[in-house]
Structure 1
Amino acid sequence: MNHKEIAERLIDLLGGEDNIISAAHCATRLRLVIKDESKIDQEKVEALDGVKGAFSSSGQYQIIFGTGLVNKVYEQFAKMLQLDQKETVQHNEAAKQKMNPLARFAKTLSNIFVPIIPAIVASGLLMGLLGMMKAFQWVSPDSGLFKLLDMFSSAAFIILPILIGVSAAKEFGGNPYLGAVIGGILIHPSLLNPWGLAEAKPEVLNFLGMPIEMLGYQGTVIPILLAVYVMSKIEKWTRKIVPNAIDLLVTPFLTIISTGFIAFIVIGPLGRGLGTGITNVLTFVYDHAGPVAGLIFGGAYSLIVLTGVHHSFHAIEAGLIADIGRNYLLPIWSMANVAQGGAGLAVFFLAKRAKTKEIALPAAFSAFLGITEPVIFGVNLRYRKPFIGAMAGGALGGAYVVFTNVAANAYGLTGIPMIAIAAPFGTANLINYLIGMGIAVFTAFITAFVLGIKEDEKKN
């Protein structure tokens, strides 16, 4: 496979260099903002060597190559287009300009939370290791090793406002280091740390006749998002009116002091209440709708993935972990993802053409590891009926994990890798998660197999 030739051919099929506004890539897809998508030769793009599917979504034309290959193709693609030298708008901003308001909001949350997933996953895995060490009495809870691991595992959640502050400031166009400072203010040691505390009561500070609770925002999500959004607006406005000669001194000072007061007086309490309200509503639905909620969410999640809005759920999941210490949404999403893999396996056994089988099998196993784009866009959605089968599997699997109260202690991992962040809640939690996976995969496979596929001779 010649990556340079693929990139050259791709540029031609996309309507030429002038039709490509900007480009980026994720773990599996080449993401492009195209000036005029009517100039794209869709059939020939999908027929290119290594391409597993292509589609337009969230203001971007996305071409699925799969993990590893997409990096090599993008490297040649970027060289030919001289992307690092072109004076074009930032790729994310270019993509947002083509989105509707809801999709733009979801994309913003995605851009903020996706970069910090590794930190959350690492903490979740460490918590799992700590839980096993405690359950099986591998080491004493008073040992130095246990105490150090306890520190390591909780750190990311304690400093979550700082992590979000940096990422959000980048997304909102502010200084990321000022965003980190705002996050640091919200978790300052002078404030009572509510992380892991149940009944502790904070001191009340009298500021200009207003009572301010000296309560920290460790582990919270919405307060820091709102605070950094306001901070970025203040910073931009201040920079416009402050002379360049004193900008370095005046702008950061006014930005931090203004945002700090606003955060403690207005944003903090408002954000905390809003976050708690969202958690309470979701928990109410989860407790009272039960398996019906799992059935609906598990079945509909794959449709939500098509819109790209699913990335915005990370903010809600982080709030659940902060408020109640468990993420009961992730197991539902996981059922939908592995169900796509089950339907992809059905396509592999049903398909007669070698290229269809070549794409379907690795794409299905990729879904079992939590990466669903290749099997959704490259296989199941192409033949439609397997996608319906996957929705059925996700629905039944979602209903089961809600019925058995399966939960995780982090977000960002689904499928087989999620075992590591489901295990900390006990053996029953883990076993029910595995049973749910079995239900989702089996239902999707059988439904997709019964519905069958119709291979398009010309298209394939």
Structure 2
Amino acid sequence: MAPENKNRATAAAILPLVGGARNIDSIAHCMTRLRLGLKDRTLVQDDALKALPAVMGVVEDDTYQIVLGPGTVARVAPEFEALVAEQPPQVASAPEELAARGAELKAARKAANATPFKLFLRKVANIFVPLIPALIGCGIIAGLNGLLVNLGWLPGVTPALAAIASGFMALIAVFVGYNTAKEFGGTPVLGGAVASIIVFAGVAKITVFGQTLAPGQGGVLGALGAALLAVYVERWCRRWVPEALDVLVTPTLTVLVSGLVTLYGLMFVAGEVSTGIGHGANWLLDNTGAFAGLVLGGLFLPLVMLGLHQALIPIHTTLIEQQGYTVLLPILAMAGAGQVGCAMAVYLRAKHNEPLRTTIKSALPAGFLGVGEPLIYGVSLPLGRPFVTACVGGAAGGAFVGLFSMLGDKVGSTAIGPSGWALFPLLQGSHGLGTTIAIYAGGLLVGYAVGFLATYYFGFTRATLTDLNTAPAPADAEAGEPTPVPAEPAQA
């Protein structure tokens, strides 16, 4: 089957299982997930969706998220959108009741699972997630260019590679401003226009608080703040400016007021905050690297579960702007290593649970590449204790990488998004590439090993192991009476 036919077939298989085109409110995708806004959650057939070969798992948040994996989701999403466009929504027999029921379910889900802080973090994540593909591409090119420069190869090509790798980062503030205004309900191009002031070379002629501004000062944090201010100024203008003058006055006042505040306040404040983040991250790893790595690696999976990991995205981006790489991501990636080790232990302990073992076999390749949702939601979290022991593995791997940071060997990533083995092409550090790769690989091995051992010996009670390894006996299969299979001893 041709790749495009395969992707369309996947989209066609998913569509009826989420209630058909009439049940779709919105369609988007990130690095690994197809994100759907649904009118009626009760129409979704979760089990049938999870059984599809291309589906690694499902996650319910503010949107219904189907985990397809990196690369695949970017190809399936357009096919899914095309199918929805080809099948206009059908008229329901009782449209008012259906709409009311869908609205009620949506409101109840939001009230139960969302807080203002989490909603704000989701908006922040939505600003940066669309930028990740460009960050990855430019990061890999930057790493390749650095390798060629160090080896002294292709001196006529390396300046071109440097320009290609650096162009996006030089203007990332504009993209952040555009996305911020779009996400918070303003005019996107006005957000981009205000944020572009930050990277304009002419700001070097402006003095604020006795200091001359530098192009790029404040970085993505300044751009985010400037565009957010522009949204509120624009809303104020829309409320008070007469309609006849709106097209002239509103954009002018929005850019002027937000621009002046950005130049004479936000750039300076955001610059100080950005510098503090860089110094703080370096101090933390230089002085408490092993402990900091243990805490960060151990708590990252719970942060993901609570949605709080989204707050780290601007921090990663700020570090990449300042230093060329983020030292936090390789440590946080160790959480995925603990998850993989945990899953391998569950596979061995659940010897007679074929459905669970099949899930693990299908999800492990993605887990090695840093896509952890299938293992989290399909294996460790439902089992309880293994989720905790997976965190222990992540803590051990994080402590390993953090220890080397204390010794002066920092390991960083030139982009955000990938983890696991997929992070290798993006690695960069304070010493040679070989040393950086060796430290990161060592952290992964420690995470795998500790996650495996902690889960194998401490991840199950006797009752849990008995339940996991219960299989129907041949004589009782029709009656549906299970027969326990002797399990290995486990600590209660």
Q: Which moved more, 1:380-389 or 1:224-233?
A: 380-389
Q: Distance in 1 between matches of 2:183 and 2:258?
A: 17
Query: Which residue does the alignment assign to 1:417?
Result: 422
Whether the 8 Å contact between 1:33 and 1:95 is mirrored in structure 2 is no
**Closer, same or farther in 2 for the Cα pair 1:96/1:247, shift >3 Å?**
farther
| 1:149 correspondence with 2:164 | no
Please report the TM-score for the alignment, with normalisation by the length of structure 1.
Answer: 0.81
Q: In the TM superposition, what is the alpha-carbon distance from 1:148 to its structure 2 partner?
A: 1.4
Q: Distance in 1 between matches of 2:346 and 2:85?
A: 34
Q: In the TM superposition, what is the alpha-carbon distance from 1:438 to its structure 2 partner?
A: 1.1
Q: In the TM superposition, what is the alpha-carbon distance from 1:317 to its structure 2 partner?
A: 0.9
Query: Which residue does the alignment assign to 2:183?
Result: 171
Root mean square deviation, CA, Å: 3.6
**Closer, same or farther in 2 for the Cα pair 1:17/1:349, shift >3 Å?**
farther
Q: Distance in 1 between matches of 2:29 and 2:348?
A: 31
Whether the 8 Å contact between 1:279 and 1:323 is mirrored in structure 2 is yes
Structure 2: where are the runs of 5+ without partners?
1-8, 406-410, 472-479, 483-492
Query: Which residue does the alignment assign to 1:198?
Result: none
- Residue 436 of structure 2, aligned match among 407, 429, 439: 429
Q: In the TM superposition, what is the alpha-carbon distance from 1:227 to its structure 2 partner?
A: 0.6
- Give CA-to-partner distance per residue, 1:64-100, whole Å, 9 cap, x none: 45564874778767877839xx9999xx999877610
**Closer, same or farther in 2 for the Cα pair 1:161/1:79, shift >3 Å?**
same
Q: Tell me the secondary structure at the aligned position of residue 297 of structure 2.
A: helix
Q: Which has the higher contact order (CA 8 A, sep 6+)?
A: 1
Query: Which residue does the alignment assign to 2:342?
Result: 343
Query: Which residue does the alignment assign to 1:184?
Result: 196
1:39-438 equivalent positions in 2, closer than 5 A: 44=47, 48-50=51-53, 52-57=56-61, 59-64=62-67, 68=72, 71=77, 82=89, 99-140=114-155, 144-192=156-204, 205=207, 213-217=212-216, 220-351=219-350, 352-405=352-405, 406-423=411-428, 425=430, 426=432, 427-438=434-445
Q: Which moved more, 1:101-110 or 1:226-235?
A: 101-110
Q: Which amino acid aligns with 2:395?
A: A
Query: Which residue does the alignment assign to 1:196?
Result: none
Q: In the TM superposition, what is the alpha-carbon distance from 1:294 to its structure 2 partner?
A: 0.6
Q: In the TM superposition, what is the alpha-carbon distance from 1:46 to its structure 2 partner?
A: 7.3
Whether the 8 Å contact between 1:360 and 1:379 is mirrored in structure 2 is yes
Q: How many residues are paired up?
A: 433
Q: Which amino acid aligns with 1:185?
A: I
Q: Which amino acid aligns with 2:186?
A: G
Q: Which amino acid aligns with 2:135?
A: I
Q: Distance in 1 between matches of 2:135 and 2:33?
A: 23
Q: Which amino acid aligns with 2:16?
A: E
Query: Which residue does the alignment assign to 1:11?
Result: 19
Q: Distance in 1 between matches of 2:118 and 2:85?
A: 26
Q: Distance in 2 between matches of 1:407 and 1:2?
A: 36
Q: Distance in 2 between matches of 1:170 and 1:43?
A: 32
- Residue 442 of structure 1, aligned match among 446, 449, 474: 449
Please report the TM-score for the alignment, with normalisation by the length of structure 2.
Answer: 0.77
**Closer, same or farther in 2 for the Cα pair 1:442/1:78, shift >3 Å?**
farther
**Closer, same or farther in 2 for the Cα pair 1:25/1:6, shift >3 Å?**
same
Q: Distance in 1 between matches of 2:301 and 2:46?
A: 24
Q: Distance in 2 between matches of 1:265 and 1:94?
A: 44
Q: Distance in 2 between matches of 1:237 and 1:402?
A: 48
Q: Which amino acid aligns with 1:133?
A: L
**Closer, same or farther in 2 for the Cα pair 1:390/1:216, shift >3 Å?**
same
Q: Tell me the secondary structure at the aligned position of residue 229 of structure 2.
A: helix
**Closer, same or farther in 2 for the Cα pair 1:255/1:130, shift >3 Å?**
same
Whether the 8 Å contact between 1:7 and 1:73 is mirrored in structure 2 is yes
**Closer, same or farther in 2 for the Cα pair 1:135/1:99, shift >3 Å?**
same
Q: In the TM superposition, what is the alpha-carbon distance from 1:34 to its structure 2 partner?
A: 6.5
Q: Distance in 1 between matches of 2:109 and 2:174?
A: 27
Q: Distance in 1 between matches of 2:144 and 2:314?
A: 25
**Closer, same or farther in 2 for the Cα pair 1:161/1:123, shift >3 Å?**
same
Q: Which amino acid aligns with 1:128?
A: G
Q: In the TM superposition, what is the alpha-carbon distance from 1:42 to its structure 2 partner?
A: 8.6
**Closer, same or farther in 2 for the Cα pair 1:325/1:107, shift >3 Å?**
same
Q: Tell me the secondary structure at the aligned position of residue 407 of structure 1.
A: strand
**Closer, same or farther in 2 for the Cα pair 1:78/1:110, shift >3 Å?**
farther
Q: Distance in 2 between matches of 1:9 and 1:215?
A: 53
- Give CA-to-partner distance per residue, 1:435-457, whole Å, 9 cap, x none: 11111112222332333554377
Q: Which amino acid aligns with 1:368?
A: F
Higher Rg: 2
Q: In the TM superposition, what is the alpha-carbon distance from 1:411 to its structure 2 partner?
A: 2.1
Q: In the TM superposition, what is the alpha-carbon distance from 1:243 to its structure 2 partner?
A: 3.1
- What's the % identity of the aligned pairs? 30
**Closer, same or farther in 2 for the Cα pair 1:77/1:148, shift >3 Å?**
closer
Whether the 8 Å contact between 1:158 and 1:218 is mirrored in structure 2 is no
Q: Distance in 2 between matches of 1:75 and 1:448?
A: 44
Structure 1: where are the runs of 5+ without partners?
193-202
- Give CA-to-partner distance per residue, 1:237-262, whole Å, 9 cap, x none: 21232333332222211111111111
- Give CA-to-partner distance per residue, 1:387-432, whole Å, 9 cap, x none: 2232121111000111112222332221112111214652211111
Q: Tell me the secondary structure at the aligned position of residue 337 of structure 2.
A: helix
Q: Which amino acid aligns with 1:111?
A: N
